[in-house]
Amino acid sequence: AQSVTQLGSHVSVSEGALVLLRCNYSSSVPPYLFWYVQYPNQGLQLLLKYTSAATLVKGINGFEAEFKKSETSFHLTKPSAHMSDAAEYFCAVSDGGGSNYKLTFGKGTLLTVNP
Amino acid sequence: DAGVIQSPRHEVTEMGQEVTLRCKPISGHDYLFWYRQTMMRGLELLIYFNNNVPIDDSGMPEDRFSAKMPNASFSTLKIQPSEPRDSAVYFCASSLLGTGGTEAFFGQGTRLTVV
């Protein structure tokens, strides 16, 4: 069974500071990994995805994530936080197909950006 | 494409009433997912379909919940009878297997309040 653990349900940073949101996964097969963002009263929007190509993945809005198989991690980073980055972020894992494909989400991390 | 379309956006109903949530996936997508989001449980996968066939409904909380996908462009999630603990935001998502990562596209969600 696949699962995702997001460390820290709430992260607070100052504007301009580094953003680091942590995600560890468990999967019995090589995983596909995703980060989604949810703004208030909206659906989830894909930030970036890892699909077994480059281990460093760049996404929208200046975010990137690095797949580390030895650590079973897929942490999300952004060098400099903007006020507009305040939202909830979800890490997700997929087995990538076959006859039993599904996407499993972590509990989410709420990012607050202080002026 | 207009994206995944859900209706209604908001629904308030009395306990014991039947509630039907509707979803139109992105044209051409062959996977459709129903998720429920609450503060306590986060994002839970309720059921997903592949080519209109239910594949995994293990997340459906109980027999009061049912989902159908009569054709490739329409799905419903029905709760009968509804209870206050069913209050949540329900998301529909669709994806196309084979896009190298099976990214899921989410609708705006239906906020259900059962009083």
Residues of chain A found within 8 Å of residue B107, distances taken between Cβ atoms: 43
Minimum Cα–Cα distance from B4: chain A residue: A43
Interface touch A101/B109, C-beta < 8 Å: no
Minimum Cα–Cα distance from B33: chain A residue: A102
- Give the CB-side neighbour count of residue B30, counting CA atoms within 13 A: 10
- Quote the tokens at residue A101: 């494909």
- Quote the tokens at residue B11: 């629904």
Reading phi first (left if > 0) and then psi (alpha if -120 to 50, else beta), residue A41 is in left
Q: What is the pLDDT of residues B15-67, one digit of tens each?
A: 999 999 999 999 999 999 999 999 888 899 999 999 999 998 999 988 999 99
10 Å CB burial of residue B53 (0-12, 13-18, 19+) is: exposed
**Best residue of B33, B102, B110 to probe chain A, by most A CBs closer than 10 Å:** B102
Interface residue A96 vs chain B (CB under 8 A): yes
Distance to chain A for B8, nearest Cα, Å = 14
Q: What is the pLDDT of residue B62?
A: 86
Interface residue B100 vs chain A (CB under 8 A): yes
Residue B5's CB is within 10 A of a number of other CB atoms, namely: 15
Are residues B57 and B68 in contact, defined by beta-carbon separation less than 8 angstroms? no
CA distance B112 to B9: 8
Interface residue B12 vs chain A (CB under 8 A): no
Are residues B19 and B76 in contact, defined by beta-carbon separation less than 8 angstroms? no
The shortest CB-CB distance from A42 to any of B35, B102, B108 is to B108
Closest to A90 measured CA to CA, from A38, A32, A19, A39: A38
Minimum Cα–Cα distance from A91: chain B residue: B43
For chain A, 115 residues long, give each residue's pLDDT as a single digit of tens: 788 999 999 999 999 999 999 999 987 777 889 999 999 888 999 999 988 778 899 999 999 999 998 999 999 999 999 999 999 999 998 876 555 577 889 999 999 999 9
Q: What is the pLDDT of residue B33?
A: 94
Q: What is the pLDDT of residues B57-74, one digit of tens each?
A: 999 988 999 999 999 999
Residue B101 pLDDT > 80: no
- Give the CB-side neighbour count of residue A36, counting CA atoms within 13 A: 22
